[in-house]
Amino acid sequence: MSILVIAEHDNSQLSPGTLNTVAAAAKIGAELRVLVAGSGCGDVAAACAKIAGVSEVLCADFDTYAHEITENTAHLVKANLDGVSHVLAPASTFGKALIPYLAALCDAQPISDISDVVSEDTFVRPIYAGNALQTVKMSDAVKMMTVRTTAFEAADAEGGSGTVTAIDDAGASDVVTFKGQNLSQSERPELTSARIVVSGGRGMQNGENFAMLEKLADTLGGAVGASRAAVDAGFVPNDYQVGQTGKVVAPDLYIAVGISGAIQHLAGMKDSKTIVAINNDEEAPIFQVADYGWNEDLFTAVPALQAELDG
């Protein structure tokens, strides 16, 4: 039996989360296969074949998969389940849309966001915004799940020597048409895999003030995130949102600036290695999870921190 990991990529680069997903798959055991669906995605397939522990890469390189249309990818995966015991994808918007759709096509009940592997049929996952951890045993013949990528160390991107097998086009949906994308452009590291994240909340007051956090992030080589309040107020785009219903991050260093620490926000960052909180309200709940709290006006603290780092 083999474990199938669905690669996430943009046709030229593999998402870092795919490496963590491979690591989760390796923890289950058995032989590892990776499926790459894309268009002009040969480099991605080659990169997957090099991941330590991967024995085979199934590559569907067709126009059908130029964009991540859930329907198309799900039908492709369904057609490639021979000898497969588990299907895993990262718990990104890509994987979270795909896995349940695929599971329903296969009459299976998937689980979302696994944070640990107990055995080949038993997994741990956070519920209630991470306020509880559930251990679940699955009974379907093919077990399907998304993986909380921050909970698993990335697999080695080098060292593997898998084969790449071309697979057939499973056909495109005639009821869904791709119209376009409006993607955030950034030179900074990707939020969910960045080693350092600087996040701002409602306390930032406006979008212009985020320039302070961007500068700080650039000095530290980090990414910029935000609370939902900051996103809702239009300070920054939606893809900055960290939390229960946004992105989950667990960097080495998370700096929360002007964020109160609502449970829904903590859900997305409380597994960070070191947390710094800058807030002028000493009662702010964020201080309860912060390793280093700084009770100060952010408009004083952030420039002072920047100056200190600039030396």
The footprint of another protein on residues 121-150 (CB under 8 A) is: 122, 126-140
Token pair listed for 60: 């569907």
Token pair listed for 299: 């408009």
Which residue number, 252 or 281, has a Cβ lying nearer to ligand FAD? 281
Which residue number, 58 or 242, has a Cβ lying nearer to another protein? 242
Q: Please give the residues from 40 up to 79 whose contact with another protein meets the rule CB under 8 A.
A: 67-71, 74
Q: Is residue 176 a contact residue for another protein (CB under 8 A)?
A: yes
Q: Is residue 220 a contact residue for another protein (CB under 8 A)?
A: yes
Token pair listed for 38: 């894309």
Residues of the shown chain interacting with ligand FAD in the complex, contacts defined by CB under 6 A:
201-203, 227-230, 241-246, 258-260, 262, 264-265, 268, 279-281, 284, 297-299
Which residue number, 17 or 246, has a Cβ lying nearer to ligand FAD? 246
- Give me the phi and psi of 257, to 5 degrees please: -115, 120
Nearest to 299 by CA among 203, 167, 201, 230: 203
Which residue number, 81 or 263, has a Cβ lying nearer to ligand FAD? 263
Least distance between another protein and beta carbon 63 (Å):
16
Residue 230 contact among another protein, ligand FAD, none, beta carbon within 5 to 8 Å by kind:
ligand FAD
- Give me the phi and psi of 125, to 5 degrees please: -145, 145
- Alpha-carbon distance of 128 to 256, in angstroms, equals 22
Least distance between another protein and beta carbon 253 (Å):
4
Q: Determine which residue in the list 214, 264, 280, 299 makes contact with another protein, applying CB under 8 A.
A: 264
- Give me the phi and psi of 306, to 5 degrees please: -60, -45
Least distance between ligand FAD and beta carbon 194 (Å):
17
Residue 202 contact among ligand FAD, another protein, none, beta carbon within 5 to 8 Å by kind:
ligand FAD
Nearest to 7 by CA among 189, 19, 27: 19
- Give me the phi and psi of 3, to 5 degrees please: -105, 130
The one-letter amino acid code at 25 reads A
- Alpha-carbon distance of 239 to 244, in angstroms, equals 13
